[in-house]
């Protein structure tokens, strides 16, 4: 495997693992960063589908070697989508922070009530 | 380019733009919305008419031939779901308009109509998409609209629910994108018919990994156990019309995507044992969740999870009868689930909330409401002669035909779930509808009937009644529906007609 390929593979692996780690945190900002990293990981893995990714797409001349333009077009669309939704997530996180004055994911009250049903009466 | 295939998502997108321009006039916005959706219904019925004999219509956008361009495909399954979805979307919009003209909703935000139409476009495009990336884009259109819709009239609880919903939805989208990257790396195409041909020669273990990845991706959105935890947390929190449409359509679009990918791309064999286990777990866990809840909306959300299990069960059988059963179940469940949530919205209108702890005697408050709850509820539980019974019988018959001990366990789980559904529903019935109404409920009703909201309330009630009628109609048309499902299921498992329509001459 050539060197850019190896660097890409390593980046994708690191981005996925860090992204999922951050996603499982309780702080909303970390969750948002996790989503951003996962988005990058997915876009980079689209780049991995073409071995000649370092070559220019389409502009390699009529006979020259070019890279496959389709994954780049797909990644472009995906970047726009993840960018838009990330902005929305940031706005939501801000809203939660305004409402609760912290950015932790709150508990589900209904679930806690159901959980208490299984406890014996006298301990409550 | 066949225009019929473009109408279901181009017209709603145009309509969304128009309703955005009509900011100042709520009435013209409502008319634009209804006209748009009516056009989609007409188009969908037309498509269903054309495809009912098993024809598959394919169309290349911009004239770029199939593996290269964007392909739109309508087969009987897609056309059937398109028809049912557009009818439900139209009825829920009418319900919402009733709520608005009565001033019964606390100030509908300006963005409701445009977002609702964008959601429609996303749902319709998901059914018609002929390549994986287009399916991804359609899902994103649908989900992004739903992220914004679920925060309408934001309260703290809604913002919290949206946060969970958005993060979960986005995670599954990113996994979807990863799946597309892997498929593209393996076969070098994103056109589904082309992938179906080329995946045949792929190594078995790679195919299995991809099939599982796509099962997880759509499983998150379809809320199969153990990926269901977000649904009962987020759906009941949204305003009624939104949760009705989410519960009826969004999970079913994901089920449709599971059917499409598992049958067409992967041939279904790879993961059918896993899917049977998932189906059993989904049925049981969902309905057990419903039994301990105290809020009607939450009960219905957990019931929704358990009924997704039935659909996965039919799909896991991987036989013509099984998949036909899933299709009948999909049609039945889209209609019934939407009706249940609309009825809950009416209950909220009368009582102000949907918590079972302080509702009693709704039958005395409004007999029509009781009837509207009862008919879809017994249908959900699968009591003859309602549509739920037809759907369940179709699935269980398919299960008996398929045989095998795990299938029998699945049938047992299904019967148990049906019984528990009856218990859950009669718990709601005895606590909320039976007995003498609380005094403040009667005064609230008197005020509602006299006040300026009466016209709006009547429109909401009539729309709910029509929806109940559609549910009964599904049962009446059970015979043709089953026939159509068998035709469609045959094509789905065979795959030949679909591939031939998209790539005339078998590609290459």
Note the pLDDT tens digit of each residue in B301-351.
999 999 999 999 999 988 899 999 999 999 999 999 999 999 988 888 888
Q: Which of residues 230-269 of B touch A (CB under 8 A)?
A: 233
Q: Give the lowest-confidence range in A76-90, B213-227, B240-254, B424-438.
A: B424-438
Judged by a CB distance cut-off of 8 A, whether residue A53 touches chain B is no
Picking from B162, B166, B174, the nearest residue to A39 by CB comes out as B174
Query: What value of ipTM does the predicted structure carry?
Result: 0.88
d(CA B457, CA B253): 30
The listed range with the strongest mean pLDDT (B353-362, B375-384, B495-504) is: B375-384
**DSSP string covering B305-369:** HHHHHHHHHHHHH-SHHHHHHHHHHHHHHHHHHHHHHHHHHHHHHHHS--BGGG---HHHH-HHH
Report pLDDT for B435: 78
From the candidates B152, B166, B234, which should be mutated to test the interface with A, based on the most A CB atoms within 10 A? Answer: B166
Judged by a CB distance cut-off of 8 A, whether residue A6 touches chain B is no
Report pLDDT for B508: 47
The answer to the question of residue B36 being in a domain is yes
Report pLDDT for B363: 80
B163/A71 touch (CB, cutoff 8 Å), yes or no: no
The pair of structure tokens assigned to B57 is 């219509």
d(CA B5, CA B57): 8
Report pLDDT for A1: 45
Report pLDDT for A6: 82
Report which of residues A122 and B492 the model is more confident about: B492
Report pLDDT for A124: 42
d(CA B362, CA A53): 66
Using DSSP bridges, classify how beta strands B71-74 and B57-60 pair: parallel, antiparallel or unpaired.
antiparallel
Q: What is the rounded average pLDDT of the residues A66-82? A: 86
Judged by a CB distance cut-off of 8 A, whether residue B301 touches chain A is no
Report pLDDT for B456: 81
Report pLDDT for A123: 46
Bridge partners of B72, per DSSP, are B59, B129
Report which of residues B22 and B415 the model is more confident about: B415
pTM of this structure: 0.92
- Is A20 a residue whose pLDDT tops 90? yes
Grouping H, G, I as helix, E, B as strand and the rest as coil, residue A53 is coil
Mean pLDDT rounded to a whole number for chain B: 87
- Which residue in B has a C-alpha nearest to residue A78's C-alpha? B177
Q: What is the rounded average pLDDT of the residues B356-365? A: 79
- Which residue in B has a C-alpha nearest to residue A33's C-alpha? B167
From the candidates B111, B158, B162, B184, which should be mutated to test the interface with A, based on the most A CB atoms within 10 A? Answer: B184
Report pLDDT for B280: 93
B293/A78 touch (CB, cutoff 8 Å), yes or no: no
Bridge partners of B57, per DSSP, are B74
Query: Å from A65 to nearest chain B CA?
Result: 18
The answer to the question of residue B508 being in a domain is no
d(CA A55, CA A16): 25
The answer to the question of residue A123 being in a domain is no
Judged by a CB distance cut-off of 8 A, whether residue A70 touches chain B is yes
Picking from A49, A93, A114, the nearest residue to B181 by CB comes out as A49
Give the closest residue to B342 by CA, choosing from B307, B304, B389, B297. Answer: B297
The answer to the question of residue B332 being in a domain is yes
The answer to the question of residue A48 being in a domain is yes
The answer to the question of residue B507 being in a domain is no
The answer to the question of residue A109 being in a domain is yes
d(CA B145, CA B428): 32
User: Residue B444 burial by CB count (10 A; 0-12/13-18/19+): exposed, middle or buried?
Assistant: middle
d(CA B23, CA B21): 5
Residue B344 CB coordination number (10 Å)? 22
Of all residues in chain B, the percent with pLDDT exceeding 70 is 97
Report which of residues B448 and B189 the model is more confident about: B189
The answer to the question of residue B472 being in a domain is yes
Q: CATH number, domain at A59?
A: 1.10.287.3510
Counting the structural domains of chain A, the total is 1
Q: Do residues A28 and A57 touch, judged by C-beta distance below 8 A?
A: no
The answer to the question of residue A96 being in a domain is yes
Counting the structural domains of chain B, the total is 1
Q: What is the rounded average pLDDT of the residues A49-57? A: 71
* Prior bond of B226 cis (ω within 30°): yes
Report pLDDT for B14: 93
Predicted confidence (pLDDT) per residue in B157-196, tens digit: 788 888 888 999 999 999 999 999 999 988 888 888 888 8
Report pLDDT for B106: 57
- Is B268 a residue whose pLDDT tops 70? no
Mean pLDDT rounded to a whole number for chain A: 81
B295/A82 touch (CB, cutoff 8 Å), yes or no: no
Domain that residue A12 falls in:
3-118
Predicted confidence (pLDDT) per residue in B112-148, tens digit: 889 999 999 999 999 999 889 999 999 999 999 999 8
Domain that residue B197 falls in:
1-502
- Is A65 a residue whose pLDDT tops 90? no
Report pLDDT for B430: 87
The answer to the question of residue A124 being in a domain is no
- Is B107 a residue whose pLDDT tops 60? no
* Cβ neighbours of residue B22 closer than 8 Å, sequence gap 6 or more: B28, B29, B32
The answer to the question of residue A53 being in a domain is yes
A110/B293 touch (CB, cutoff 8 Å), yes or no: yes
Q: Do residues B117 and B104 touch, judged by C-beta distance below 8 A?
A: no
């Amino acid at each position: 495997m050539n060197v850019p390929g190896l660097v890409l593979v390593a980046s994708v692996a690191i981005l996925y693992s860090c992204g999922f780690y951050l996603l499982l945190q309780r702080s909303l900002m970390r969750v948002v960063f996790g989503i951003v990293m996962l988005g990058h990981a997915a876009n980079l893995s689209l780049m991995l589908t073409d071995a000649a990714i370092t070559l220019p797409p389409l502009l390699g001349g009529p006979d020259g070697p070019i890279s496959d333009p389709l994954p780049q077009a797909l990644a472009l669309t995906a970047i726009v989508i993840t960018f838009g939704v990330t902005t929305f997530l940031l706005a939501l996180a801000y809203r939660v922070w305004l409402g609760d004055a912290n950015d932790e994911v709150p508990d589900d009250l209904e679930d806690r009530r159901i959980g208490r049903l299984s406890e014996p009466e006298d301990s409550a | 380019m066949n225009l019929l295939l473009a109408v279901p998502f181009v017209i709603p997108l145009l309509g969304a733009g128009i309703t955005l321009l009509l900011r100042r006039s709520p009435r013209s916005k409502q008319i634009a919305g209804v006209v748009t959706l009516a056009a989609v219904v007409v188009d969908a019925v037309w498509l269903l008419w054309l495809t009912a004999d098993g024809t598959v219509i394919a169309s290349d956008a911009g004239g770029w031939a199939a593996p290269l361009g964007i392909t739109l495909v309508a087969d009987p399954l897609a056309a059937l779901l398109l028809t049912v979805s557009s009818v439900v979307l139209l009825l829920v919009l009418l319900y919402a308009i009733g709520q608005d003209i009565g001033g019964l909703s606390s100030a509908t935000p300006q963005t409701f109509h445009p977002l609702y139409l964008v959601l429609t476009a996303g749902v319709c495009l998901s059914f018609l998409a002929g390549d994986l990336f287009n399916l991804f884009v359609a899902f994103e259109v649908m989900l992004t609209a739903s992220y914004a819709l679920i925060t309408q009239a934001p309260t703290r609880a809604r913002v919290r629910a949206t946060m969970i919903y958005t993060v979960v939805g986005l995670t599954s989208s990113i996994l979807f994108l990863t799946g597309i990257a892997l498929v593209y790396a393996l076969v070098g195409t994103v056109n589904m018919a082309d992938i179906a041909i080329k995946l045949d020669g792929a190594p078995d273990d790679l195919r299995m990994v991809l099939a599982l990845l796509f099962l997880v991706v759509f499983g998150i959105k379809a809320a199969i156990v153990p990926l269901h935890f977000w649904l009962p947390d987020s759906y009941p929190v949204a305003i009624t019309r939104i949760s009705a449409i989410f519960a009826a359509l969004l999970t079913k679009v994901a089920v449709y995507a599971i059917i499409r990918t598992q049958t067409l791309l992967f041939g279904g064999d790879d993961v059918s044992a896993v899917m049977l286990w998932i189906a059993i777990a989904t049925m049981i866990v969902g309905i057990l969740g419903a039994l301990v809840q105290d809020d009607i909306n939450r009960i219905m959300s957990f019931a929704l999870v358990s009924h997704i299990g039935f659909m996965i069960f039919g799909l896991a059988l991987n036989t013509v009868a099984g998949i036909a059963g899933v299709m009948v179940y999909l049609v039945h469940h889209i209609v019934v689930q939407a009706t249940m949530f609309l009825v809950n919205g009416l209950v909220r209108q009368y009582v102000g909330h949907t918590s079972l702890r302080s509702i009693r005697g709704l039958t005395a408050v409004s007999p029509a409401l009781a009837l509207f709850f009862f008919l879809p509820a017994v249908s959900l539980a699968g009591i003859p002669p309602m549509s739920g019974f037809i759907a369940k019988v179709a699935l269980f018959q398919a299960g008996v035909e398929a045989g095998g001990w795990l299938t029998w366990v699945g049938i047992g789980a299904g019967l148990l779930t049906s019984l528990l559904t009856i218990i859950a529903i009669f718990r709601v019935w005895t606590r909320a509808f039976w007995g003498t109404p609380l005094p403040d409920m009667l005064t609230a009703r008197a005020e509602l009937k006299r006040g300026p909201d009466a016209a709006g309330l009547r429109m909401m009630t009539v729309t709910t009644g029509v929806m109940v009628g559609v549910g009964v109609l599904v049962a009446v048309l059970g015979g043709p529906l089953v026939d159509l499902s068998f035709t469609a299921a045959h094509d789905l498992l065979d795959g030949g007609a679909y591939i031939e329509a998209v790539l005339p001459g078998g590609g290459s």
